[in-house]
Amino acid sequence: MMSGIIKHLTTLLLLLSALVLLIMATTSHGAIPKSTLKVVEEVNKQGPFLGLVVPNSFEMSPLLQSKSFVKDKKLPYLDIGGRRFHLGKVGKDKLIMVMTGLSMVNAGLATQLLLSLFEIKGVVHFGIAGNANPELQIGDVTIPQYWAHTGLWNWQRYGEGPQNELALEAGGDYTRKYGYLNISYYSTNKIDKSSGNFLNNVWYQPEEIFPVNGVPEVREHAFWVPVDEKYFALSKQLEGMELPKCANSTTCLPRNPKVVRVERGCSANAFVDNAAYRKFLRSKFNVTPVDMESAAVALVCRQLETPFVAIRALSDLAGGGSAQSNEADVFAPLAAHNAVDVVLKFLALLTS
């Protein structure tokens, strides 16, 4: 009987030991299980990787389904913190691609997680965007040299104007450097600059960033964030690419889309389908693509000193086209495919 008890206790101890090992293997370091971090460590031994960051599934699917993309046979993806990191190759380049989801917050969080976990040598961000440039058409693919977040505002109180200091401006928190949107300039059926408007002025503000090699808790301000000089120079070779112009058998664009390097793009947590605001963004900031993620990716890459470029295909006119509907409903799939075609060509240039 004694031997039976000892055998039972031994079995129980073995089970408890296995349970402890299981708990240790899955213990979180912060929000990430230790077992996942071990996989990340093994992945990084194969690096460095080029990071691909894309907002939505319909923008990512053309690349995943492309014959040029070869997924990793042993580990095609790794799920961490609600994000799925796809591993694979395009040509000789090893890639890790993550879908961010909509908005600046999602884009910033996903990019930060990508760069914090993996050995990333550079980031290529791509997707679709609204077009604020009347010289370009839907389907064109743009590569801006600078990106700005145009959704960080200081909203001035009624009765004050450009001559009045903004709240907290003296302490360096806010600035009047980048100009403002005067709401009273825009009224129904006419432009009225003489009458006031309780919404008054919105002043655009730079972001506070904390560079990885800077002094912790000592901020820098960034409004126009440049893409990587080498990436931008290399992208000039993309101009002249032939891109399809038909969304379907009956709906085609006036001409074949082209790849264009432009000066500026902007992002904010707003889908722009408004002709007046589109015109304002173009006249105030000289932007071409208008989206909801690229500036967030740019700011995180700047903080972590990681080379970055954004490639955005124009899917609609941001409210400047038909009054009946937004063109994105028709041309978003074509634009998404065009963006991926250009990204694949850019990746080929990187490894040539």
Last residue in a domain, options 205, 240, 270 = 205
CA 260/CA 265 separation, integer angstroms: 12
- Percent above pLDDT 90 for the chain: 77
156 contact partners, CB below 8 Å, separation of at least 6: 164, 166, 180, 200, 201, 202, 203
194 contact partners, CB below 8 Å, separation of at least 6: none
Outline where the chain has alpha helix (H).
Answer: 2-26, 34-44, 57-64, 104-117, 229-235, 275-285, 294-303, 328-351
Q: Are residues 180 and 42 in the same domain?
A: no
Within-domain flag for 19:
no
Within-domain flag for 298:
yes
Q: Are residues 144 and 237 in the same domain?
A: yes
Q: Are residues 48 and 157 in the same domain?
A: no
Q: For 127-179, what is each residue's pLDDT tens digit? A: 999 999 999 999 999 999 999 999 999 999 999 999 999 999 999 999 999 99
Query: If pLDDT is split at 50, 70 and 90, which confidence band does 322 have?
Result: low
Nearest by Cα to 306 from 314, 297, 315, 318: 297
105, with CB counted inside 10 A (0-12, 13-18, 19+), is: middle
Within-domain flag for 5:
no
Helix (H) or strand (E) holding 201: strand 201-204
24 contact partners, CB below 8 Å, separation of at least 6: 34
Q: Are residues 127 and 157 in the same domain?
A: no
CA 83/CA 286 separation, integer angstroms: 34
Q: Are residues 159 and 134 in the same domain?
A: no
Range of 25-29, 75-79, 250-254 with top mean pLDDT: 75-79
Q: Is the pLDDT of residue 37 over 50?
A: yes
Domain harbouring 138, CATH code: 3.40.50.1580
Q: Is the pLDDT of residue 234 over 60?
A: yes
CA 238/CA 194 separation, integer angstroms: 47
Q: Are residues 165 and 144 in the same domain?
A: no
Q: What is the three-class DSSP state of 46?
A: coil
CA 131/CA 329 separation, integer angstroms: 14
Within-domain flag for 345:
yes
Within-domain flag for 284:
yes
CA 75/CA 39 separation, integer angstroms: 10
Q: Are residues 200 and 322 in the same domain?
A: no
Q: For 115-128, what is each residue's pLDDT tens digit? A: 999 999 999 999 99
**Pairing, β 69-71 against β 49-54:** unpaired
CA 87/CA 98 separation, integer angstroms: 9
Q: Are residues 160 and 142 in the same domain?
A: no
Q: Are residues 302 and 179 in the same domain?
A: no
Enclosing domain of residue 115: 34-148+210-215+224-351
> What pLDDT does 318 receive?
87
Q: Is the pLDDT of residue 84 over 60?
A: yes
pTM for this predicted structure: 0.88
**70-75 average pLDDT score:** 96
Query: If pLDDT is split at 50, 70 and 90, which confidence band does 11 have?
Result: low
Nearest by Cα to 62 from 99, 30, 107: 99
Q: Are residues 229 and 174 in the same domain?
A: no
Within-domain flag for 335:
yes
Q: Are residues 159 and 136 in the same domain?
A: no
> What pLDDT does 94 receive?
96
CA 314/CA 160 separation, integer angstroms: 37
CA 192/CA 175 separation, integer angstroms: 26
Based on the structure, what is the number of domains in the chain?
2
Within-domain flag for 191:
yes
Q: Are residues 272 and 184 in the same domain?
A: no
**48 upstream amide cis, omega within 30 of 0:** yes
**Helix and strand tally (H, E) in the chain?**
8, 18
Within-domain flag for 101:
yes
What is the DSSP track for 99-144?
Answer: E--SSHHHHHHHHHHHHHHS-EEEEEEEEEEEE--TTS-TT-EEEE
